[in-house]
Chains A and B, each alone.
Chain A
């Protein structure tokens, strides 16, 4: 049986890669994919602790996170399509309508 902290360190590495992607990239869809990466890293942590404490609540959380991530992806990509129709770009620096 693989120790829990192996999974926690892998999850931390994946989360950090997602954070770096969100901070350094400008392509909106790439930023969105990095957010999905961070969500998956958190899911891995939930499952690691669920196995360690033999607790099904962690699995239920992962299930609901997956459902909410699907809804988030649908709405987020719709926002990017709308932005692309209006600005012909998905560079997030161009989406500065609220930047007065």
Chain B
């Protein structure tokens, strides 16, 4: 029963902080709330017997990706910029269609998702099992991901620098760039 208590506590934390991300106007508060939500999701991964991925969730998502978000928010000095209010029709359509989507998703999930019992016995999903699987069956995707990350590094450097390539793309209409 303590498992269920942990599940509901951290599920509530994840959902509440996710709502803060959507509803709060300040992007810094949103980014920090998202970190809290990711930590709660890491607890979910531990409950799902995947401790290695829980550690990756904390290190990669809460550690690296969200720090990158916070860094960009600070770099662009966005924490003082007031976000313009969304048009009421967009608010209304967004909330209603989002709610309809969510209700439909949960309905079809409970009605059609496969809940047949899986195999018996303990499920070993530790770093050893994942490593063996990764370097046997998944070694080609693993190498492809390394190339993808290299391409992302080059792309990010090209885009974020005040290089000529991006500027000429924005300049192509002549009047787009004033400075």
Chain A residues near B (Cβ < 8 Å):
1-10, 12-21, 23-27, 29-30, 32-34, 36-37, 40, 43-44, 47-48, 50-54, 56, 59-60, 62-64, 66-75, 77-82, 84-86, 89-91, 93, 97
Contact A70 B149 (CB under 8 A): yes
Given contacts A20-B98, A53-B119, contact A70 B65 (CB under 8 A): yes
| Count of A-B residue pairs with CB < 8 Å | 232
Distance (whole angstroms) from the CB of B140 to the closest CB of chain A? 11
Separation of A72 and B64 alpha carbons in the complex (Å): 13
Contact B64 A70 (CB under 8 A): yes
Contact B102 A12 (CB under 8 A): yes
Complex: chain B residue closest to A97, CB-CB: B176
Separation of A27 and B84 alpha carbons in the complex (Å): 8
A1 CB contacts on chain B under 8 angstroms: 3
Contact A33 B34 (CB under 8 A): yes
B129 CB contacts on chain A under 8 angstroms: 56
Contact B72 A29 (CB under 8 A): yes
Contact A13 B115 (CB under 8 A): no
Contact A60 B105 (CB under 8 A): no
A90 CB contacts on chain B under 8 angstroms: 76, 78
B contact residues, range: 35 or more
The prevalent SS among residues of A at the interface is helix
Complex: chain A residue closest to B177, CB-CB: A86
Distance (whole angstroms) from the CB of A10 to the closest CB of chain B? 5
Given contacts A33-B31, A54-B118, A82-B159, contact A26 B84 (CB under 8 A): yes
Whether a CB of chain A sits under 8 angstroms from the CB of B9 is no
B21 CB contacts on chain A under 8 angstroms: 17, 21, 30, 33-34, 37
A–B pairs, 25, beta carbons within 8 Å: A6-B11, A8-B109, A9-B110, A16-B101, A16-B102, A20-B22, A21-B21, A24-B98, A25-B22, A26-B84, A29-B69, A30-B21, A34-B22, A62-B50, A64-B138, A64-B141, A66-B56, A71-B149, A73-B69, A74-B153, A75-B156, A77-B69, A78-B157, A89-B81, A97-B176
B47 CB contacts on chain A under 8 angstroms: 2
Contact B7 A5 (CB under 8 A): no
**Interface set, chain B 142-179, CB cutoff 8 A to A:** 145, 148-149, 151-153, 155-160, 162, 166, 170, 173, 176-177
